Structure 1
Amino acid sequence: MPQVVTLGETMVLLNPTTTGPLKYATHFIKQIGGAETNFAIGLSRLGHSAGWISRVGNDEFGRYIISFVRGEGVDTSQVKVDPQAPTGVYFKERHEFGESKVFYYRKGSAASRLTPKDLDEAYISGAKYLHITGITPALSDSCRQTVLKAIEIAKSNGVTVSFDPNIRLKLWSVDKAVEVLMDLVSRSDIVLPGLQEGQMLVGANKPEEIADKILQAGAKTVVIKLGEKGAYYASGGESAYVPGYPVQRVVDPIGAGDGFAAGFISGLLKGWDLTQSVKLANAVGARTTQVVGDVEGLPTLEEIDYFLGRKREVER
């Protein structure tokens, strides 16, 4: 059984070869993108076993996704092929400076038809961690019920639940997102919000205040992502700021948060303390931003050593 199990939608990403408004783009690279598979692939590259639960369409895009994710070392045995719904697609609009934009074509997708019946209790209960995001419950009522059932299985079998809010306001309103995601916060052991996500969820501004409110809601550990400044964590009576690793140029920021989550859980799986785990998370997140694509920049441990200057790479 995989050490870590996650569930959610992965789509085909059509990424333009040029920056600027999407209406002027004429050539695209076919890639994949999905918070949960980004996370799972990140863990696999860091030396851990991960499994992914989902649905894809009975189409070429669905087959491509399964092949790609399996090729990255992630177990796809729990991915079902749905003959009645398509695989989702999205487009990315990249800019030289500022945030990238994404445009989804996922309504009625195969993954939005996930139900609790798609879950194998033994598969989840055999893991050490269940990782969920706030994207999956936004896709449909059945997806939300599937997430809740997965958490119930994990909790009843001593599996630690990790939750990245990953707020997507193109999928639902702020009020609905806060209602549903705070319920998931209360059911999770580890919560990994970005600063703006934390501010939106609990109505506080400072990382310390956000962490306190999330802990009061029921979580045991909170790690707040602060971009190039690093992260702030709090767990029980322990808390600290951990500096980040600024990069000279951010090529593509999408996927960095999923890489951060993978780095943090990787540290915990290795038996590291919270500070060491957050340091690894910061490094993975920073390294991920230097390559175009959601998963292409996710590093191995050896690449992290090069990135941090602990090893000198032989270029010739």
Structure 2
Amino acid sequence: MSHPSYTIVGAAILDILARPVDASVFAAGSVPAETVALHTGGDAMNEACVLADLGADVHLVSKVGRDPAGEMVLHACSRRNIDAAFVGVSSDIPTGTNIVLVDPKGERSFITAPGSTLRQFYPADVPDAALRPGGILCFASIFVSPHFGNRELAFLFSKAKAAGMTVCADMTKRKKGETVRDMADCLSLLDYVFPNYEEAALLTGESDPDRIADAFLACGTRHVVIKAGSRGCYVCTPDRRFWSPAYARARCIDTTGAGDTFTGCFLYALGHGLPTADCARFANAGASLCIEQTGAVGAGKDLQEILKRAGL
């Protein structure tokens, strides 16, 4: 069977990671860290890297600055065979750079630069040529780009639908108190949505996973995949819902990019025609590899280990 191309839309930045780091740094002024590393990051870049490492045909739609950080992002795309033809380069806006502090349990805190490309990505930066007929589009992630609200996303998703694409979206925490009703137009066009539990609970105002899923399904979303960390994920459709457990023997050192890795792996399995339950198992397995290393990317380089952990 032929496999689709993937168009991944969103942020491509640099992450400066330090681990382990806790609040004592603010009192001490200087603390040693086991690891200080520079990696590419951003929701779209992370998902694109996972898919490319797995051998998929990936097209990244993003924006970087004309600066050393932007050059590093573009070089990483070239090295991984990610098509960067739709990555705009701005002479006026610096490439987004995050400082990521990872605590001893692997949880992260971010310091971001609002004036960078991370927050200066616009609907005009997504050309129609990037919407490839029959492919899979993933907007990664809702609420990261402030210029993509409900109306702008609905317009983009409608165009992707018209091109015959499967339309998906990842998500981060809402920024302005948005509710699921505020986002109903764009959510109605999604074939798959991938919020984590906290993001979904905030958006829907619900705490029970079934009621969270019902809120998305009521908008017209066809598949709701709630990422739940060590619990795995909860998958809901109008006809079926089930828990898919996480890989139990993973050793967590850094959760940076785990959600993006999950989504990238799910999309890969989906594009290869796997049933929804197997897509969830494959995604959980990929995320388990991600949390065992520092940084957001790299888990997709070991397809056989993902398949082994997924039991596929």
- TM-score, normalised by the number of residues in structure 1: 0.86
> Hey, what does 1:278 align to over in structure 2?
280
Note the C-alpha offset of 1:4: 0.9
The range that moved more, 25-34 or 4-13, is 25-34
Task: Give the Cα–Cα distance (whole angstroms) in 1 for the partners of residues 125 and 22 of structure 2.
Answer: 40
Residue of structure 2 aligned with 1:4, choices 3, 6, 17: 6
Higher relative contact order (CA 8 A, sep 6+): 2
Note the C-alpha offset of 1:270: 1.0
> Hey, what does 2:147 align to over in structure 1?
141
Amino acid at match of 2:258: A
The answer to whether the 8 Å contact 1:125/1:153 transfers is no
Q: 1:45 aligned to 2:62?
A: no
| Residues 52, 2 of structure 1: alpha-carbon distance in 2 compared, 3 angstrom cutoff | farther
Counterpart of 1:92 in 2: which secondary structure?
Answer: strand
The answer to whether the 8 Å contact 1:66/1:76 transfers is yes
Counterpart of 1:101 in 2: which secondary structure?
Answer: strand
The range that moved more, 298-307 or 215-224, is 298-307
Counterpart of 1:24 in 2: which secondary structure?
Answer: coil
Note the C-alpha offset of 1:300: 2.9
Q: 1:110 aligned to 2:117?
A: yes
Q: 1:132 aligned to 2:131?
A: no
| Residues 81, 251 of structure 1: alpha-carbon distance in 2 compared, 3 angstrom cutoff | same
Q: Cα deviations across residues 266-300 of structure 1 (Å, max 9, x unaligned)?
A: 11111111111111011011111000001134443
> Hey, what does 2:219 align to over in structure 1?
217
Task: Give the Cα–Cα distance (whole angstroms) in 1 for the partners of residues 311 and 217 of structure 2.
Answer: 35
Note the C-alpha offset of 1:112: 3.4
The answer to whether the 8 Å contact 1:124/1:150 transfers is no
The answer to whether the 8 Å contact 2:123/2:147 transfers is no
| Residues 99, 113 of structure 1: alpha-carbon distance in 2 compared, 3 angstrom cutoff | closer
Note the C-alpha offset of 1:307: 4.6
> Hey, what does 1:119 align to over in structure 2?
126
RMSD of aligned alpha carbons: 2.6
Q: 1:159 aligned to 2:179?
A: no
> Hey, what does 1:313 align to over in structure 2?
none
Counterpart of 2:100 in 1: which secondary structure?
Answer: strand
Note the C-alpha offset of 1:33: 1.0
Residue of structure 1 aligned with 2:30, choices 9, 20, 24: 24
Task: Give the Cα–Cα distance (whole angstroms) in 2 for the partners of residues 109 and 18 of structure 1.
Answer: 26
Amino acid at match of 2:275: D
Task: Give the Cα–Cα distance (whole angstroms) in 2 for the partners of residues 112 and 145 of structure 1.
Answer: 18
Q: Cα deviations across residues 221-245 of structure 1 (Å, max 9, x unaligned)?
A: 1111122222121223122222221
Gap runs ≥5 in structure 1? 311-316
Alignment of 1:1-316 (within 5 A): 3-16=5-18, 18-21=20-23, 23-25=29-31, 28-97=36-105, 99-105=107-113, 107-135=114-142, 137-141=143-147, 147-167=153-173, 172-173=175-176, 175-176=177-178, 181-305=183-307, 307=309
Amino acid at match of 1:158: G
The answer to whether the 8 Å contact 1:2/1:49 transfers is yes
The range that moved more, 11-20 or 57-66, is 11-20
Residue identity over aligned pairs, in percent, reads 26
- TM-score, normalised by the number of residues in structure 2: 0.87
The range that moved more, 120-129 or 220-229, is 120-129
The answer to whether the 8 Å contact 1:5/1:127 transfers is no
